[in-house]
Amino acid sequence: MTAVGNSMAVLLACIGRWEAAPGEALSAIRSAMEDVDRYGERVYAALRDLAWSLVTSRAEPSEVTAWFDIIRHVAALARRRDAHALETQLLVLADLLGQSARFSDRHPIEDVGRRKIMVDVLNAVQEAGGSASHAAIAATAGLARAHLSGLLVILCCSGMLERHVSAEGAGFRLTAAGLQAVAQCKASGSAAEA
């Protein structure tokens, strides 16, 4: 590998590890996309790893949006260079980041654990010993299973519950953040109705 190729590989690895600022990353990626045949897969891998980090860490919506814009821009570069498979892969990553940003805007992590209905679900899991099935949570919280599914997704994405599978089947268990939310609501004696 040449010195230029080696430095490009290092830059792309930094992007994949979320160690580069968006502007710095875009400059490096534009350079890499000049030789899409050589670097296209590496650009995708770096942006895929970055997207995974952004989604799983619940990064700030403004940062997710900045990376969303960059990935859309890189997809347009791929289209101009007739790298249509790469363009499609990048558009899927951008869609994932866009959905993540919208989710974070609608369900800020600091608000989720204070909503009454969410606290009811967390209490139902705690009453079951910290781990319960979907059906047990629905029965204890007095919620329809269909309605509960969406709430469980929000609580899992917010890091307050985690899904697990055991010999008895799939279920949900409280995380440290979920236990903290339950304790805070009990200490304050209230939860928001929203």
Q: What is the DSSP string of 41-107?
A: HHHHHHHHHHHHHHHHHT--HHHHHHHHHHHHHHHHHHHHTT-HHHHHHHHHHHHHHHHHHHHHHHS
pTM over 0.75: no
Q: What is the pLDDT of residues 139-184, one digit of tens each?
A: 999 998 888 988 888 888 788 899 988 777 789 999 998 888 888 8
What pLDDT is stored for residue 60 in this prediction?
A: 76
User: Alpha-carbon Rg of the chain, whole angstroms?
Assistant: 21
Do 33 and 72 lie in one domain? The reply is yes
Maximum alpha-carbon separation in the chain = 64
Domain count, the chain: 2
If asked whether residues 140 and 102 sit together in one domain, one would say no
Percent of all residues in the chain with a pLDDT value above 90, rounded to a whole number: 48
Evaluate if residue 192 carries a pLDDT over 60: no
Q: Is residue 89 part of a domain?
A: yes
- One-letter amino acid at 130 equals G
Mean pLDDT over 95-105 rounds to: 82
Percent of the chain with pLDDT over 70: 91
Shared domain for 26 and 13, answered yes or no, is yes
pLDDT in the model for residue 51: 93
Whether 152 is covered by a domain: the verdict is: yes
- Residue 194 located in a structural domain: no
* 63 and 14 assigned to the same domain: yes
> 5: pLDDT confidence band, cut at 50, 70 and 90?
low
pLDDT over 60 at 45, yes or no: yes
Nearest to 182 by CA among 151, 161, 154: 161
Residues spanned by the domain of 132: 111-188
Rounded mean pLDDT, 82-91 = 97
Can you give the pLDDT at residue 193? 47
Verify that 37 and 83 share a domain, yes or no.
yes
Q: Of 49, 71, 106, at which residue does a domain stop?
A: 106
DSSP code for 20 = S
Q: Which of 106, 127, 159 is the last residue of a domain?
A: 106
Q: How far is CA 145 from CA 119, 142, 159, 183, in A?
A: 16, 9, 21, 25
Domain boundary among 90, 106, 122: 106
